[in-house]
Structure 1
């Protein structure tokens, strides 16, 4: 079996995920299982995306670090982009600010089923992250279980 968790496949562009699927298939025996989770594009409402925002501050001795994160979702491309700002204050020194961003490629359940089928997998099932039945509009994550097709 191959397992990728915590939206790991979302860090791949669609083309790279297709390449990964081909590699996973080649490394599984016929009937072998591939399990992964990813955010569900259909269920991530603007309110859910807004809830991903964070503003954390932590101090240790004389160093304070503040981390602010905001995210936006481009529904056309399926890209969820998060923007991070880290501000580091050491004692009385001038604060240093570091800005970074990263994107996750999101999919619908139908897109995942199509991609896996195209790349030699059968869909065993798609579930909510806790294993309960999957709902296109309510499950924030898709837990997909695929099986390498027996050729």
Structure 2
């Protein structure tokens, strides 16, 4: 019995710290805007930290200017067909045009992020807006995806 409890507590020690970090965050709201003059699809994303500790990057690296948590939107096939994509990547990524947000979210608070992506030349803004939720919001810490929020497409 003692060995079983030791085994369970050892597993909990290694698993639960990462579990707490990602399970304490939820998607509060997401709005999309088409910026016609610049041919951009913009996402405004709010997330809430429902946990007892700040939600922040745990990634460490030897450089000086790491910006903390990164929020990106991974397109589904229908949205990807309307957007400019990054070439020479094994990942399906829309061409980024800008982003920003709070690098961390304090306990019980909400953080705001925005990301902007380039619409294909000649793309129909109504079609892009229709398929904007054919996507998944990713929270990335360093090079690791730590949380995914699949969105419901409204097509």
TM-score normalised per structure 1: 0.28
Per residue, is there more strand in 1 or in 2?
Answer: 1
TM-score normalised per structure 2: 0.28
